[in-house]
Amino acid sequence: MSAAAVSPPRAILFDRDGTLVTDVPYNPDPAKVQPVAGARAALEAVRAAGLPCGVLTNQSGIGRGLMTREQVDAVNARVDQLLGPFDVWEVCPHHPDDGCRCRKPQPGMILAACRRLGLDPSEVAYIGDIGADVEAAAAAGASGVLVPTPVTRREEVEAAGLVAGDLAEAISLLLEARP
């Protein structure tokens, strides 16, 4: 899909694990946080364009009893230290079986972030590495960009409307859509 098909965003939101930082499943340790290649430059481009940015992350390890909210907050603080500051953070602490409205692919975190930023979801783009990320964006009425990683399934790539090879390309596509 061309950048012309994307509404110019007034904010860009990101998935955390696999998108901004290396995915360490159920990571309770801030020392294990490693930004993915190009994350800092991509975020600098977003900020240089004057756009707010935020992070939305499913953290079912809390609901599974594998880590505490305090540990997740410490990991998020490390992400913020390395790549921030971010204008908004949203965390879903629920187990996948809880049926909550915030766990991606549900739109709850995107909608909450939009409310906090004072924006309509149609004014926001969300970048993630799996199908649930772009599905959440679509469910909220936001633009979704998939940046595949080795864990991204082929059918997720095929179903995504907008796919970028890396964060730099995703940001470029979104910023080129701006007037």
Task: Decide if 15 is catalytic.
Answer: yes
Catalytic residue among 17, 97, 129, 166: 17
Tens of pLDDT along 115-155? 999 999 999 999 999 999 999 999 999 999 999 999 999 99
Over residues 70-97, the pLDDT tens digits come to 999 999 999 999 999 999 999 999 999 9
Angle between helix 131-140 and helix 108-117 axes, rounded to 10 deg? 60
Q: Which residues contact 7 (CB under 8 A, 6 or more apart)?
A: 122, 123, 143, 177
